[in-house]
Amino acid sequence: MTKSINQPWAISESHIARYGKLWADLDFIFEQKISAENFKTDPMNCLIGRLSIANQNIHFYYKDLISYSKELDKCSFNVYAQRLDKNESFQVEIKNRVFNMRKHEIGKLAQTINDALLVSLRSYELGLYL
């Protein structure tokens, strides 16, 4: 079974029509098996999973989740603070790939990365490791 944050297959057609295909398909998928021992000895370089965005898969290590979590939170806050039109797009760079995204898509991206970081940490702490 796929270990997914947003479960895009469960999003209804009405939500896809309202928020867009990029928003609906945005997801973080965890690796099938992450070694608890590897995470314990070298957590920063442990491959956690991949971000699925705009028909691209971007692999994320634990250190990437931490850094992009902070960066995307800041970006999301700045975009929402500007009070611009909801259809205006902004450029977001993720691991040297640039995506044009609207405010609500940036917000969902930030939340997805934050959720992936939290799930990774909690799974390790509880010994459930993915």
Determine, yes or no, domain membership for 2.
Answer: no
Determine, yes or no, domain membership for 110.
Answer: yes
Q: How far apart are alpha carbons 130 and 127 in whole angstroms?
A: 9
User: Taking the model in full, what pTM does it have?
Assistant: 0.88
Task: Calculate Rg over the CA atoms of the chain.
Answer: 15
The one-letter code for the residue type at 10 is A
pLDDT tens column, 22-34: 999 999 999 887 7
Number of domains comprising the chain: 1
Say if residue 117 is exposed, middle or buried (CB neighbours under 10 Å; 0-12, 13-18, 19+): buried
User: Strands, DSSP E only, in the chain?
Assistant: 27-30, 47-53, 56-61, 89-94, 97-102
How high is the pLDDT of residue 102?
Answer: 92
Determine, yes or no, domain membership for 14.
Answer: yes
Determine, yes or no, domain membership for 116.
Answer: yes
Q: How far apart are alpha carbons 1 and 87 in whole angstroms?
A: 35
Determine, yes or no, domain membership for 1.
Answer: no
Determine, yes or no, domain membership for 57.
Answer: yes
State the average pLDDT over residues 89-98.
93
Look at residue 128 and tell me whether its pLDDT is greater than 70: no
How high is the pLDDT of residue 93?
Answer: 93
Note down the domain range covering 34: 8-126
Determine, yes or no, domain membership for 58.
Answer: yes
Determine, yes or no, domain membership for 3.
Answer: no
